[in-house]
Amino acid sequence: MNEHAPALEVTPDLTVPADLAPALSAGSDAARNGDRPAPDETIAPPAEPSRRRTPARHRKREAQARQARQAAEAEARANAISPTEAAPLTETVADASPADLSEAAVVEAEPLPTPAETAILARVDVVSDSDRAIDLCAFDGVLVASDLALPAGISAERLPDTLDALDERLRAAGTGHLVIVVPGDPLATGPGRALLSALGPDQVRLHAGVSDLQTALGRIGFAVEDVTTLRVERLGREGVSARLRRGRLYAIDPTPLDPQSVGQLLEDAGLHQARVWVVSPTPEAPVSAMMAFELTDAPNDFPPGSQVVAYTIGADGSCRDWPGIPATEIPGALPEAARLLALAWLQPGSEECGWCIEGPQPALALDWARERPEAAVYCIGCDEATLATALVRHGAGEHAEAVSGGSFHSLEPLADPNVVFIRAGEEFTQQVRTAWTRLRPGGRMVVVAEGEAARLELMQFAHRTPPGLWQDLSVAAGDAEARPIRLSAPTSVRLMGWTKPPRG
């Protein structure tokens, strides 16, 4: 009996060690020679490969290779401007691990400035040129407004013309302490308030001074708290006119206009009998007192910087303090009673955005803009020329904007409203649905319907969205001179009001 290789016992999940390969080979040779192994001896079968090639693994490898090629091609395209550097970078992308790629990206990117490098650390005092209590020599730098003379014996420089340039100058100062000298009151002129808003009170200090307005008012015995200040330069002619009311004391800065133009504004507002004083802050300049219509025709030239102080009275009642422009002044307008009720339900605020859809001739929009001149009111369906003429004639606010056409498609680019007024007309169904959908949470909407068809469409919308308020109103005009008394046919309107639920 021939010798055979020692028998091997194979267990599952184990591969044959490499040092046993000769024994397996010997057993194979014995089998070829006709020798059979002993019954109690077994020969281990050949070990299977540790990893077999399966279709799933093959697809995974192909996907990995494809991703590597795509990453390399994308990196090469990104560096196409510099072909000499594109090839090494492509090889790096194909062979490098994700961690290596992250490191390379960090090294190659330009470092961004840190917040500490862009922050303004300097302290700033803003003072008036007439403030003698401030020692300018105690500061690290002095910036003087361009319309002031540089102080003698002090190292000073001109104040930059823009806030961006001023920011750069303040960054260059590091942690220094600078002073800015401006003409008049730092609260009214110069960059003091903008700097205070941006940097806060820990870095910016405003030294309130006596302004030209305070000096001028003091010459006729008034304080700043006694008057309502209006600046033509900031509000414009229309803005000043929209804010004029009867029985008020105004201090109007006419710059860049002249005092005579302010007299014309008062006349246009129906305040031709207002008592006005033209006062200059210069003590040597005389004080002129007259009526508003006299100021308009005044031939004399007033000193620069003169203020117009006006106490508005109007014996003819042409200055209307209450809302409700007479319907006779606006063709086809809703009755005053209907407009006043709609405004009472809407309660529009100065900071709110509103839509007013009432056709080519605005009426409620004018009442709205007169009472809230700062509010943004879109007059939908009105052309710009008609609205501009109406605003000037009735002294309404300067923020009313015409949206011609009136189609519900014209509502798409507008800002979402807080307040909506709709006078039922063409495309009413689409308009009211769009307005209700776009109305902000907590917003108010009032709709007025006059004819039978409009009332039917309004009721259809009300069935789907029940209103919180509704009122039928009839208004008839009378003839004061007719004998016997005669009333015209009443105008009947239906008003409905909604309030959109607040969010959440």
- What is the per-residue pLDDT for 228? 92
69 or 285: which leads in pLDDT: 285
CB distance 42 to 9 below 8 Å: yes
Does the pTM surpass 0.85? The reply is no
Q: Answer whether residue 12 shows pLDDT above 70.
A: no
N- to C-terminal Cα separation, the chain: 96
Q: At CB < 8 A and 24+ separation, what contacts does 89-96 make?
A: 94/68, 94/69
Residue 338 and residue 419 share a domain: yes
Residue 221 and residue 201 share a domain: no
Cα 171 to Cα 119: distance, rounded to the nearest angstrom: 7
Name the phi and psi angles at 179, rounded to 5: -130, 135
- Collect all residues with Cβ–Cβ distance below 8 Å to 90 and sequence separation of at least 6: 72, 73, 75, 76
User: Across residues 445-453, what is the average pLDDT?
Assistant: 93
Min mean pLDDT across 192-196, 222-226, 391-395 is at 391-395
At 249-276, the pLDDT tens digits run 999 999 889 999 999 999 888 888 899 9
User: Which stretch of DSSP H or E encloses residue 491?
Assistant: strand 491-499
Range of the structural domain that residue 258 is part of: 214-311
Boundary (domain end) residue, out of 286, 311, 336: 311
- What is the per-residue pLDDT for 319? 58
User: Which stretch of DSSP H or E encloses residue 28?
Assistant: helix 21-32
- What is the per-residue pLDDT for 112? 64
479 in any annotated domain: yes
User: Across residues 186-192, what is the average pLDDT?
Assistant: 85
- What is the per-residue pLDDT for 97? 53
Residue 410 and residue 380 share a domain: yes
CA distances from 321 to 9, 276, 396, 467 (A): 111, 20, 12, 31
Cα 166 to Cα 179: distance, rounded to the nearest angstrom: 12
The DSSP annotation for 57-84 comes to HHHHHHHHHHHHHHHHHHHHHHTTT-HH
HSE-up of residue 130 (Cα within 13 Å, Cβ side): 10
Residue 195 and residue 85 share a domain: no
Cα 29 to Cα 1: distance, rounded to the nearest angstrom: 15
- What is the per-residue pLDDT for 18? 47
Boundary (domain end) residue, out of 108, 125, 141: 108
Confidence of residue 180 (pLDDT cuts 50, 70, 90): very high
318 in any annotated domain: no
Cα 405 to Cα 427: distance, rounded to the nearest angstrom: 11
Residue 395 and residue 471 share a domain: yes
- What is the per-residue pLDDT for 31? 43
439 in any annotated domain: yes
Q: Answer whether residue 248 shows pLDDT above 80.
A: yes
17 or 58: which leads in pLDDT: 58
Residue 495 and residue 401 share a domain: yes
Residue 165 and residue 80 share a domain: no
- What is the per-residue pLDDT for 318? 55
Confidence of residue 55 (pLDDT cuts 50, 70, 90): low
Beta bridge partners of 291: 275
User: Across residues 457-486, what is the average pLDDT?
Assistant: 86
Tokens of 206: 């405003």
- What is the per-residue pLDDT for 47? 47
Residues for the chain: how many in total? 504
137 in any annotated domain: yes
Min mean pLDDT across 3-17, 352-366, 473-487 is at 3-17
CB distance 75 to 93 below 8 Å: yes
């509010």: which residue's tokens? 375
130 in any annotated domain: yes
| CATH at residue 293 | 3.30.950.10
- What is the per-residue pLDDT for 301? 83
| CATH at residue 393 | 3.40.50.150
C-alpha torsion angle, residues 347, 244, 353, 409 (rounded to 10): 110
Tally of domains within the chain: 5
- Percent of the chain, pLDDT > 90? 34
CB atoms within 10 A of CB 368: 27
Confidence of residue 332 (pLDDT cuts 50, 70, 90): confident
The helix/strand/coil state of 256 is coil
Tokens of 249: 């004391």
Helix axes 428-438, 452-464, angle to 10 degrees: 30
Cis peptide before 256 (omega within 30 of 0): yes
Q: Answer whether residue 343 shows pLDDT above 90.
A: yes
- What is the per-residue pLDDT for 30? 46
Boundary (domain end) residue, out of 151, 185, 206: 206
Residue 140 and residue 169 share a domain: yes
User: Across residues 239-253, what is the average pLDDT?
Assistant: 88
User: Across residues 75-85, what is the average pLDDT?
Assistant: 55
At 118-173, the pLDDT tens digits run 788 899 999 988 777 788 888 999 999 988 887 777 888 999 989 999 999 999 99
Q: Answer whether residue 5 shows pLDDT above 50.
A: no
Residue 79 and residue 31 share a domain: no
Residue 190 and residue 135 share a domain: yes
43 in any annotated domain: yes
247 or 230: which leads in pLDDT: 230
The DSSP letter of residue 327 is G
319 in any annotated domain: no
CA distances from 85 to 97, 99, 335 (A): 19, 21, 79
- Collect all residues with Cβ–Cβ distance below 8 Å to 410 and sequence separation of at least 6: 380, 403, 404
Q: Answer whether residue 389 shows pLDDT above 50.
A: yes
At 347-368, the pLDDT tens digits run 999 899 999 998 888 999 998 9
Residue 67 and residue 36 share a domain: no
Residue 193 and residue 81 share a domain: no
HSE-up of residue 19 (Cα within 13 Å, Cβ side): 0
Beta bridge partners of 491: 475
Which of 58-62, 197-201, 326-330 shows the highest mean pLDDT? Answer: 197-201
